[in-house]
Structure 1
């Protein structure tokens, strides 16, 4: 994987040239004052927004896995998430709620948002993003189970197409005990909703 400075063999200047061509195809004048630096800005912005391709779960978690005889649910909720819809390259954003039940190992709490970031900062669909986060945590922690819920608003639905401003999409992925034990799943969902 590259360090994010080049994508598909394109240098920054080549990428900016593609953006300039896109502006021209839209009927704009890329030489007017307001657009002179837009191709370079778009190139840098898109590389930042998709930097997850150059990141790995192993690097993000590092040595922050600790032996601990704890077998109760751990939840980090309301993790801010920003991603890009792969169909229209428009943003979607919202909150991610992650839970796991340890099986002799726990992870530093800040590592859970880092795992979310790795997969969110790629061209995505929300369904795959939810599954990738859950699967990665199962692989790295080997817990009794993992639950992930994402609530997001999609600009591809809000700014174009059906133009529904108040719609939210909710997806979930349940692994291990969260899939097999209705009580664990219901406890997670109840705590995510904020009710005791």
Structure 2
């Protein structure tokens, strides 16, 4: 069952989706993470393009840990975000699980050299989080705006894809002028859908 978006505000929609994610079992999240890994690691945009930026999932977010490990083992240069005090994202290389450290915000971030906020311009693909994505490719994020800023910096050949659960591909999300669309989404049952 898709989440009803009606005339909800962004805050109401976020609350509703977060509640639905909390109701998912650990087994469901684990299985979804395996599907995300298998589906995305088969895409040429992620395996043949050289550098890929991927979010490192936390909590009930769709799992990207398996995807990151697989891409890294296949030789893809993986960049992970580093959350900056101004709510922007810097980027640093993933060099295996030992290259990550916990932050005060409860995130795991790479400890290596940082490449700057514009590093995504040179990426073949950016895999980003979302709470929901609509049929136009507009995504509902957590509200900090960091991925909208990131998506505004991508290069002309960079493909962007959001990772969501099946119920989170909706007809419409509340949008504002600064919101940036993604090129596609991946869900556990529907696979990859390009806009």
Q: 1 or 2, which has the higher helix percentage?
A: 1
User: Is the shorter-chain TM-score for this pair beyond 0.5, marking a shared fold?
Assistant: no
Q: Which has the higher contact order (CA 8 A, sep 6+)?
A: 2
TM-score using structure 2 length? 0.28
Query: Radius of gyration: which is bigger?
Result: 1
Task: Give the TM-score, by structure 1 length.
Answer: 0.28
